[in-house]
Amino acid sequence: MSAAFFSRESRRAPRFRRIVALVSTAFLLAGLFPFPSANAAMVRVKDIVDYEGVRDNQLVGYGLVVGLRGTGDRLTNTIFTRETLISMLNRLGVNIRDREVQLQTHDVAAVMVTATLPPFSHGGGRIDVTVSAVGDARDLAGGTLLVTPLQAADGEVYAVAQGSLVTNAFAAGGAGAAMTQNIPTSGHIANGAVVEREVPVNLGASGIIHLSLHNSNFTTANRIADAINRHIGRGMARVDDPRTVAIDLSGRGTAETLYRIGDLSIEPDTMAKVIVDEASGTIVMGDNVRISTVAIAQGNLTIQVTEAPIASQPGPFSNGTTAILPRTQITANTDNSHRLGILREGPTLASLVSGMNALGMGPRDMISILQAIKADGALQADLEVR
């Protein structure tokens, strides 16, 4: 072979070795820092945290709804409605308190008005309100709420509500039948209140902002802090407790920093928990729930009580009276058709559910069985019974 050929091969060899080294390094880094799996539930930080000090404020007020079609309060029964109506008419220049006037209207109802004032609301903005009857009104459909101040817990007025109600319900009836759909004594007014006062929010005034997790979890809190330190600024986030992540805003704009933090995506950790509602027979399990291999046998005991009273008739021409004598029959049936079955440990929630279904368990059976498995120590999760 020519010398030129060997010269070209000798130049290619170092380049080939560099490529091999780069590929090997890439695989090594991939092993040290694995990428999130496609099945990982990535969520934005702003969807799982609240900013400490940034919250809604609840407002409440008392007012009158007028314009009802005879479905309002009966003033003879609801004294507070009558007194409120008289006071309102007096403020409008109609003095009937000192006169012998018997109010007979059924077109007015006393109501409580509630609303939620969002954070950073400004004067002149509008919020929705909910109107609920206080007295014995039967239907608020078609009514109009008169001017109603809405107060917060500090007694200050933060909004004023007025407008026409929308109930999305109806109530109708006659002497022999009645029909009601939804709740006709509660209504809604979209944008029905005008904000009169702002609630001050000192966000980041001290240079530190605390993120409050919706679900307390050390793993999730550390993942949030790591994402912030890696993408926003090194050392600016720390974990105070399982629910709180502290952010140091020194030298950074509050709005821009919170915007960038809120758009970060992480994979939240979930606790292994089983929630049981005995009243409705509902069972909710998290994906991390595991059950060690156990043997289960479930038998059903049914007790039937039947009442069949009989009448005791007195003899003819006697002074006795007819009496009703109770007669009760009790029957107990035990279902022994369920044999001993084995519920094997599975790596996923789907395998656990499949195993329970294979044993023929209904929701009611599962509740008692889960409680027994927890007592046995084979349920590797928290069991919450409501």
The rounded distance, in Å, linking the Cα atoms of 148 and 133 is 14
State the first-to-last Cα distance of the chain, in angstroms, to the nearest integer: 86
Question: Per-residue pLDDT tens for 198-236?
Answer: 888 888 778 899 999 999 999 999 999 999 999 998 999
Residue with more model confidence, 112 or 319: 112
Residue with more model confidence, 326 or 188: 188
- Give the pLDDT band (50/70/90) at residue 80: very high
Average pLDDT of the chain to the nearest whole number: 80
- Reported as type and span, the H/E element at residue 332 is strand 328-335
Residue with more model confidence, 287 or 46: 46
DSSP conformation class of 311: E
- How high is the pLDDT of residue 61? 98
Question: Per-residue pLDDT tens for 179-189?
Answer: 777 789 999 99
Residue with more model confidence, 99 or 102: 102
Alpha helix ranges (H) inside the chain: 3-32, 79-91, 218-231, 254-262, 349-358, 363-376
Question: Per-residue pLDDT tens for 270-305?
Answer: 888 888 887 777 888 877 888 777 776 666 545 455
The rounded distance, in Å, linking the Cα atoms of 386 and 382 is 13
Instruction: Assess whether pLDDT exceeds 90 at residue 384.
Output: no
- Give the pLDDT band (50/70/90) at residue 88: very high
- Give the pLDDT band (50/70/90) at residue 29: very low
232 closest CA partner among 211, 215, 217 = 211
In one-letter notation, the amino acid at residue 275 is I
Q: CB neighbours (10 Å) of residue 228?
A: 25
Residue with more model confidence, 168 or 71: 71
> Judging by beta carbons within 10 Å of its beta carbon (0-12, 13-18, 19+), is residue 227 exposed, middle or buried?
middle
The rounded distance, in Å, linking the Cα atoms of 380 and 288 is 9
Ranges of each domain in the chain: 57-169+181-195, 202-266, 273-385
Report the predicted TM-score, pTM, of the whole model to 2 decimal places.
0.67
Instruction: Assess whether pLDDT exceeds 90 at residue 52.
Output: no
User: Across 238-242, 282-286, 292-296, 315-319, which has the greatest mean pLDDT?
Assistant: 238-242
